[in-house]
Amino acid sequence: MMKTMRSYAAALLLVPALGFAAGTDVKLDHAPIDPTDRVSLQRGAHAFVNYCLNCHSAGYMRYNRLQDLGLTEQQIRDNLVFTGVKVGELMKAAMDPREAKQWFGTPPPDLTVTARSRSSHAGPGSDWLYTYLRGFYRDPSRPTGWNNVVYPNVAMPHALWELQGVQVLKEAKEQADGYMKTVGKLVIDKPGTMKPVEYDRLVADLVNYMTYMSEPARAQRVTVGLYSLLVIVILIGLSYALKKAYWKDVH
């Protein structure tokens, strides 16, 4: 019995260690996002509902929350709601999870808080998403025909391949620490409908929106916090002035 318990304890200790080791070799690109850029957030929301919401849900986000980005209810209904649901409903995937599991081997995860959950010692979740969405390459050995440099053996196919084009992973020589080493390098094999700079901009907008979606009240919370600090400073000043007036005859 004690031997079994020791085995379980060792396994539990090993799990986070393996997760940490798996992420140490990942070099993430900086995501050029701006949470105050409403136009970028609107473009990102449009890309999300067109390319992500077919398979993935955002089950903790409602369509009408996009009014915070400067969109009217009618604009949301006309441009972002394609399944006939009401504007006040949650952003659910169009695909049946059971069918998705049958096709991909696992149900596509909910993406509402992915930008937060993917944050690690390697970088913020926005950097992970930005690198991941630009890191797909053709791999005939995989069931979907695609693999990813950030998430090896990923079950998800490359949903944006027509825009980005087809990348392949090729070996390249790189000098580091005074000696040459072989590294993998992504190369466009077949161009997509977008130029690389255009595709990177689309991904940046999409990641910008997903970062907003993971914490939509962040901007309001920061504003409330700043006003609260201002009120505290004013109260401290008034309290000090009151104290000086009250003790003026003593001091």
Model confidence pLDDT, tens digit, residues 101-122: 777 777 788 999 999 999 888 7
Q: Are strands 58-62 and 90-91 parallel, antiparallel or unpaired?
A: antiparallel
CATH architecture of 27-231: Orthogonal Bundle (1.10)
What CA–CA distances, in Å, run from 164 to 54, 142, 170, 199?
A: 19, 19, 17, 6
Q: Which residues pair with 165 in a beta bridge?
A: 191
Of the pLDDT bands very low, low, confident and very high (cuts 50, 70, 90), residue 84 is: confident
The one-character DSSP state at 51 is: I
**Per-residue pLDDT tens for 131-186?**
999 999 999 999 899 999 999 999 899 999 999 999 999 877 676 666 767 677 89
- Using an 8 Å Cβ cutoff, are 214 and 114 in contact? yes
Nearest one of 108, 106, 1, 112 to 60, comparing CA atoms = 112
The contacts of residue 136 (CB under 8 Å, 6+ apart) are 146, 147, 148, 158, 160, 161, 164, 167
The contacts of residue 38 (CB under 8 Å, 6+ apart) are 69, 70
DSSP 152-209: TT-SS--TTHHHHEEEEEEEEEEEETTEEEEEEEEEEEEE-SS-HHHHHHHHHHHHHH
The contacts of residue 230 (CB under 8 Å, 6+ apart) are none
Structure-token match 């490359």, residue found: 158
Of the pLDDT bands very low, low, confident and very high (cuts 50, 70, 90), residue 9 is: very low
DSSP 107-148: PPPP-TTHHHHT-BTTB-HHHHHHHHHT-EEE-TTSTTSEEE
The contacts of residue 167 (CB under 8 Å, 6+ apart) are 136, 137, 138, 186, 187, 188, 189
**Per-residue pLDDT tens for 185-215?**
899 999 999 999 999 999 999 999 999 999 8
The amino acid occupying position 124 is: P
The amino acid occupying position 195 is: K
Of the pLDDT bands very low, low, confident and very high (cuts 50, 70, 90), residue 6 is: very low
